[in-house]
Amino acid sequence: MTNTAVYTAFSQGALGQVLIDRLDEAAQFSEPGSGVTRLFCSQEHRDVLPLISHWMEQAGLTPQLDAAGNLVGRCSKAQAGEKTFIMGSHQDSVIEGGKYDGMLGVALPLLALEALKREGITLPYGVEVVAFGDEEGVRFPTTLVGSKALAGSVTPDQLEAKDAEGTTLQEALIAFGCTPKDIPHIARDPAKTLGFLEVHIEQGPILEQRNHAVGIVTALTGIERHRVKLSGKAGHAGTTPMDMRYDALVGAAEMVLAIDSVLQSTDNLVGVVGKLNVHPNAVNVIPAQVTFTVELRSPDANIRQRGREAVTAALQEVATRRSLALDMENTYSADAVTCADWMMASLEQACAHADQPAERLFSGAGHDGLAMQALTDIGMLFVRCKDGLSHHPDEAISAADGEAATRVIMAFLQQLGRP
């Protein structure tokens, strides 16, 4: 393999435009309305499968819908049970989402494989590309069913999750033509899996700010959520003197600012107070009770712990000073998942090969890698998106960036084959 051979099949610039055109075509499979709405096991999901199958065939893969609603394209080596490298992303979108979140990571590796195939390059290992059915968790109150199925971690209760119409995930899969009882059989053998790589739009502004087309993901963020209950004392808003009030909302307001100050002053820690309820929530009553949520995210468990400790201390200080009762309860927590060192190093080499700067950054959002990490080493390549925007009809990438990322993946796949 020489460097120049990679660039002859698709002329410079053509690859990026093909990618954009394909993603435009896929975006037509959507519920009516603004942007793209394509939910798991929906008519739109069914309708987009022939298009993805066509891309898979162009790439030399054989498409098949699996028991969990994933469309999986496998090359002959993968079908024969040889060691296989998995790529892919999710086909589903949020309500009125964009064209790229998810589908980019399906279309792009398929285009990279097609470009290699046109060059007559055969990879010395098996490859499969997966269009996972569900990552966004919009239709069912459960998510990552497809990637969990590959990792062998789907539990029976997940299949009982119901959508808004009361249809269970199991019923939806059967209606979609899948056999959910076979889900345990599609778990991949870790010994035969070389790794999992997902290409995804960044969903943030960093690459745009740095003027880089792609970035190498170091980790998928860890998340924790807390419910904070702050109790004061209700009272008449006209007759209670200001210095005799125990106003839970004023205390909560101070706490929100204290949390923001911890977050602003800590690198690699982000968070939000996203939900707040005031009781009794009346125009002329001093607020007696406020409950609010605190969410903290960091790719580093120690930073997240120190952030939690700083937030807790700040809340206690405000509560004590204002004589308010404070109750804080942890409601959710998920550990960060780290991308494999060899995958990051190999992506870095591939970026150098494709003349792209290779900045490392962490993902503040969850992805299929969270589930796939239980099966195999994971890696992620981010692609710059316009204004850092995602989950929005205006989500966009440029053809040039799409081309750059495709060429990085082509280089990565060829490197992986070298001894």
Using CB under 5 A as the criterion, which residues of the chain lie in contact with Zn ion when the complex forms? 101-102
Distance from C-alpha of 27 to C-alpha of 48, rounded to nearest angstrom: 9
> Nearer to Zn ion by C-beta: 102 or 271?
102
Tell the smallest beta-carbon distance from residue 411 to Zn ion (Å): 24
CB under 8 Å to 254, separation ≥6 — which residues? 318, 322
Tell the smallest beta-carbon distance from residue 385 to Zn ion (Å): 11
> Nearer to Zn ion by C-beta: 101 or 247?
101
Main-chain phi, psi angles of 359, to 5 degrees: -75, 145
Tell the smallest beta-carbon distance from residue 383 to Zn ion (Å): 12
Provide the β-strand partners of residue 229. 291, 327
> Nearer to Zn ion by C-beta: 161 or 380?
380
Tell the smallest beta-carbon distance from residue 201 to Zn ion (Å): 8
> Nearer to Zn ion by C-beta: 102 or 146?
102
Tell the smallest beta-carbon distance from residue 171 to Zn ion (Å): 25
Tell the smallest beta-carbon distance from residue 200 to Zn ion (Å): 6
| Angle CA 360–415–65, to nearest 5 | 85
> Nearer to Zn ion by C-beta: 101 or 254?
101
> Nearer to Zn ion by C-beta: 234 or 337?
337
Q: How far is CA 30 from the centre of its chain?
A: 20
Main-chain phi, psi angles of 279, to 5 degrees: -125, 135
